[in-house]
Amino acid sequence: MKKYGMLVLAMAFIFSLAVSAQDPTPPQGERGPKKEFRRGDKPMVSPEKRAEKMAQELGLSAAEKAKVQALFEKQDAKHKEQMEKGEKMKAEMKEKFDAERKANEEEMTKIIGPEKFKKLQDMRAEKMEKMKEHREKRGGNHHPETPPTPPAPVN
């Protein structure tokens, strides 16, 4: 009986080692350390904090720190302006493509007729549904509304 007890204890010990040895990866949607340096969920670290960190690491004087902070603020303003410009261009391009698509659909309807065009749209919708199911089977959901989660950085 003692042998069986020791065997069970040994098995439990081995099992606990195997479980604890597995790489703990953060669950889907959660991210690893240094969240504040990543875009997306939270904004970038403020220029003040970045300048403070640099001052501590490099031993900057108060004047140097102030100049670095001013540079960081200037860079952030320029980056924000470029991002807004990019968003505006993206919206304009979407409007342009939507207008072109609508014109193409109208021309296609004139060529093949409304019944066949309706059938074409149904076929396209069915194909898109199959593609969506195929993506879900593979485990990847790379739909435009839900972008893929970037991999956690290796530290």
From the first residue on, what is the mean pLDDT of each consecutive set of 10 residues in the chain (155 residues)? 78 74 59 51 78 91 92 92 92 94 93 93 95 87 57 57
How much is the pTM? 0.42
Host H or E run for residue 146? none
Angstrom CA distances, 104 to 97, 99, 101, 108, stand at: 10, 9, 5, 6
